[in-house]
Copies of this chain bind each other. A is one copy, B any other.
């Protein structure tokens, strides 16, 4: 029997910011027992995944080995760590461990997909641990932008691994546990084999700032505003919701929370006991009747999401509220790269209404939830691991994290999605590369990102679409001329005649020239019609559409 080894393999999150999914294994090669850390999603965009509902990692590799899976551990309740739990659980069928606040979201995710929520087990923080096969796992509190974020202490027969999850070093996070260097030092004291560490903010050079640095700035800002104040942040950033609400109250405002996701997060925080001192708020029905200059709305939609409250208000009335000249929109958030267009669409709409927009360009009204470069080094020095394994980042983040680590005299390893690393040696070794990828939730169906479905949709968006129908009689002669319908093509082109008429005339000519051996061969006839219509469209409107050919034979 071959020697046991300890392996680490990211299936998602090490190649993007989003859809985190990491596998740890221990045992003889081919007989390892596994745990999964996080099952997250990432979000589609028009460029690469139009019409897709959600994106998550292709977990085929671990699903094929689900009989050897001993547990699924969720570090925190952000969608990029928990969002795929309900969608993928049926292929994994292992117990799900997380902390109390996270479990409220985990259970909802399970129920929404028709799974039994009792598979979600609430775990108390370190020093409590869960035994999962050869692993003993504890949840080590650390600060982030959602309550009860935790690193994982993963004890293995080959030593201790610290998996940070998403984190920042905030000693005054205001909601949820503070970063406690004593606690982390105590866990690291016996020696840490590997620190598997968040890379999101590796390019941010200054030490991270605390949530506690914002309140006075926001209070002062709100106090100066002549009209209603509308503030937005991520719904899951419960500490920020509290910071905003407290600042509003201090500035003499009545606070109203708008947006279902936001209300749900506050409720979950209160139910799980992590939030006890959220200021009193009023429902929107009461808010409508208050003077504008005494009111503060906190709303969803910091990333320009079209259906969120901030976007609805930018388009007009929402739940009886309306923005006016003299009001203020405070963006207590950063713009995630790629969301700029959507966010600025809203900002410009507010500008047209005469609403002042305050963003975070001055760094006064937002702090990041991730550890910056100096913070990453600080944690490395505290933990003093044998190896640093950067995770959660695009390739450029992982690579920079490695460079920074090695410049500090430590060993690191660059392990993008699908890289199976053995941690059983002083220097980590690549055991194998596994095929990974993305799965799309497309309507109600899960499809592979490379199945060609979305590629066809992109092609129709770029090229338009034409349908050619032709009926062939019992003698394999065309019964009438080909018929054309187009979608997403101009109605007229070069000649000024209706495009469909031009295409039909050209196709009729082309069909008239086709010899019997093509007219009798479905594949060749399809190809000839396709080629003819693409050529005709290119002549007339400068574009070769996607084509569907339907030949009906009356035989």
A interface residues, Cβ below 8 angstroms from B: 45-47, 50-51, 203, 337-338, 340-341, 344, 347-348, 351-352, 354, 357, 361, 394-396, 398-399, 416, 442-445, 447, 451, 453-454, 456-458, 460-465, 467, 469, 471, 479-480, 483, 485, 487-494, 538, 541-543, 546, 548, 550, 552, 554
Contacts and interface: CB of A to CB of B under 8 A. Distances in A.
Nearest to A460: B460
A460 B486 CA distance: 12
B348 A396 contact: yes
B548 A399 contact: no
B50 A46 contact: yes
A153 to B, nearest CB: 30
A444 B344 contact: no
A58 to B, nearest CB: 16
A275 B289 CA distance: 66
Contact of A542 (B340, B357, B445): B445
Contacts of A489: 453
A262 to B, nearest CB: 25
Given A442-B541, A458-B461, 17 more contacts: A45-B341, A46-B47, A51-B488, A337-B340, A337-B341, A340-B340, A344-B394, A351-B395, A444-B543, A445-B541, A447-B490, A451-B491, A456-B464, A456-B487, A469-B550, A487-B548, A550-B550
A457 B490 CA distance: 11
B469 A464 contact: no
16 contacts: A46-B47, A51-B461, A337-B340, A347-B396, A351-B396, A442-B541, A443-B538, A443-B542, A453-B490, A456-B488, A457-B464, A457-B487, A458-B461, A467-B548, A471-B471, A552-B552
A493 B444 contact: yes
A348 B398 CA distance: 10
A344 B460 contact: no
Contacts of A337: 340-341, 344
A487 B465 contact: yes
Contact of A479 (B341, B488, B490, B554): B554
A492 B45 CA distance: 23
Query: In the complex, which of the residues A47, A352, A445, A480 has the most CB atoms of chain B within 10 Å of its own CB atom?
Result: A445
A454 B488 contact: yes
Given A461-B458, A487-B456, A396 B550 contact: no
Contacts of A348: 394-396
Contact of A460 (B465, B480, B483): B465
Contacts of A542: 442-445
A47 B341 contact: yes
A494 B213 CA distance: 51
A451 to B, nearest CB: 8
A464 B51 contact: yes
Contacts of A546: 487
The 9 closest A-B pairs by CB, nearest first: A444-B542, A443-B542, A443-B543, A461-B461, A457-B488, A50-B461, A337-B340, A460-B460, A456-B488
Contacts of A541: 442-445
Contacts of A45: 46-47, 341
A348 B444 CA distance: 32
A103 to B, nearest CB: 28
A49 B79 CA distance: 29
A460 B457 contact: yes
